């Protein structure tokens, strides 16, 4: 027994993943059987979030890396020794993490395969490798890219060389470049960061890159496209930066895929609303903005009354349909500047911007009636309702914790007042 506890302690304290998966040979579905504690520590974000990620890991893997992952699984199932693969996933913060998975087949019974695997975070190593590759490729930079630029720091003139076809290029010469950067079609939200990157490169030997949006300057597109600018400072004989040169790469398609994955990670799959983590984070940011701009607001928590009975009487599939309908009603009744999220199984949260406590109450009452009225079928009629708690900003709190606590107290009062109603928090 002591030996088993000792081995279990080693496995769980290993800084990395030691995992067991069940794989169906026909559907290729992957189900985690065992995940050690070290995997949770390595990925962070809490056990529930990591469990959700590995419940269907394919949804978290970058699409470009799926062929590598699938080939690795094929190699493992071939039972010809161990196999290794590297792929990127989107973590719970929306960032990209490189994982290296080394696995082999443990057992097979019919279509059911059990594999064991060691998973390590190799993000830092991959970043170093990418930087070394960028440096080795730098001498070919101006020849291998479709868009290059050369900014003369002394004359304030920038020359963009843009390829229209393999055989045809044209130059765009911009005098007084630093004051004309916006004329290159850079999105207003990215202009300041782009200017700062160039200014920093002018002051000292520097290598940098950034992603930005631009429209019409590098191509004939009518909508903004995503690009990445890679720049480097070139020192003059006097020891000062004489030129900033670099290249611009169209990354629009990859960026759209990345944003889609992040959007999927931030949103609840059933209702389309923000998940709990994203909801809280966005409300915190909104509160900071409201403090600076002296705007009012209200936090409301909505809880579905007696929802357990819906699941017990009609099944979880019908319960999911009810939650999806509630989510749709909530989403359609708030502006883009408001924050709407699902924070629990049958609990929702909304932060409403630019609203008085009185108007927040009226809106909560309207919302409760809309949700109750959406279920008119005989089997649901009169059985679906919401209890709502409201806390006003800044009257009932200046931070998320205070507002949430007071809105939850108001919700408690709504529950104990017969349900199917709203309550505004008051100190009494």
Cβ distance 399 to 384 under 8 Å?
Answer: no
For 422, the enclosing helix (H) or strand (E) is strand 422-424
Residue 181 to residue 125: CA distance in whole angstroms? 35
Residue 88 to residue 69: CA distance in whole angstroms? 10
Residue 243 in 3-state DSSP?
strand
| Dihedral pair phi/psi, residue 237, rounded to 5° | -65, -30
Q: Say which of 346, 399, 408, 427 is annotated catalytic.
A: 346
Cis preceding-peptide flag for 217 (omega within 30 of 0): no
Cβ distance 246 to 229 under 8 Å?
Answer: yes
Task: Give the HSE-up count for residue 57: Cα atoms under 13 Å, Cβ half-sphere.
Answer: 22
For 393, the enclosing helix (H) or strand (E) is strand 386-393
For 160, the enclosing helix (H) or strand (E) is strand 157-163
Four-point Cα dihedral 47, 49, 51, 56, nearest 10 = -170
Residue 365: both structure tokens together: 């009452």
DSSP code of residue 408 = H
Whether 346 sits among the annotated catalytic residues: the reply is yes
Q: Show contacts of 100-106: CB within 8 Å, 24+ apart.
A: 101/72, 103/21, 103/72, 103/76, 104/76, 105/76, 105/77, 105/79, 106/20
Show the DSSP H helices in 346-422 as ranges.
Answer: 357-373, 400-415
| Residues annotated as catalytic (active site), given as ranges | 346
């Amino acid at each position: 027994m002591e030996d088993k506890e000792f081995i279990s302690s080693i496995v769980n304290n290993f800084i990395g993943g030691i995992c067991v998966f069940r794989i169906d040979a026909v559907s290729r579905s992957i189900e985690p059987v065992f995940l050690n504690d070290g995997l949770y520590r390595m990925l962070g974000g809490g056990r529930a979030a990591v469990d959700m990620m590995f419940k269907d890991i394919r949804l978290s893997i970058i699409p470009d890396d799926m062929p590598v992952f699938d080939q690795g699984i094929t190699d493992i199932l071939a039972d010809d020794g161990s196999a290794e693969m590297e792929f990127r996933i989107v973590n719970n913060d929306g960032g990209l993490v490189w994982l290296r998975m080394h696995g082999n087949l443990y057992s097979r019974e019919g279509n059911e395969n059990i594999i064991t695997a060691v998973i390590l975070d190799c993000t830092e190593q991959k970043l170093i490798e990418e930087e070394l590759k960028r440096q080795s490729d730098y001498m070919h930079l101006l020849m291998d890219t479709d868009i290059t630029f050369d900014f003369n720091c002394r004359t304030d003139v920038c020359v963009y060389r843009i390829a229209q076809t393999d055989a045809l290029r044209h130059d765009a010469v911009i005098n007084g470049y630093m004051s004309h950067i916006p004329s290159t079609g850079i999105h207003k939200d990215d202009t300041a960061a782009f200017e700062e990157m160039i200014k920093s490169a002018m002051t000292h030997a520097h290598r940098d890159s950034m992603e930005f949006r631009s429209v019409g300057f590098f191509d004939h597109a009518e909508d903004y496209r995503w690009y990445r600018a890679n720049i480097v400072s070139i020192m003059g004989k006097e020891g000062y930066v004489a030129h900033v040169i670099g290249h611009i790469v169209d990354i629009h398609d990859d960026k759209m895929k990345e944003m889609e994955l992040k959007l999927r990670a931030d949103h609840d799959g059933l209702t389309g609303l923000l998940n709990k983590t994203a909801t809280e984070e966005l409300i915190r940011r909104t509160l900071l903005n409201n403090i600076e701009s002296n705007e009012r607001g209200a936090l409301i928590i909505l809880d579905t009354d007696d929802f357990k009975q819906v699941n017990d009487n009609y099944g979880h599939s019908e319960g999911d349909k009810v939650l999806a309908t509630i989510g749709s009603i909530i989403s359609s009744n708030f502006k883009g500047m408001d924050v709407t999220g699902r924070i629990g199984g049958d609990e929702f949260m909304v932060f409403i911007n630019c609203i008085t406590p009185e108007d927040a109450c009226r809106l909560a009452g309207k919302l409760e009636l809309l949700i109750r009225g959406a279920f008119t079928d005989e089997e649901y009629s009169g059985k679906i309702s919401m209890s709502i708690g409201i806390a006003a900003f800044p009257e009932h709190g200046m931070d998320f914790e205070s507002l949430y606590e007071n809105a939850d107290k108001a919700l408690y009062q709504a529950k104990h007042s017969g349900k199917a109603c709203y309550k505004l928090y008051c100190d009494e």
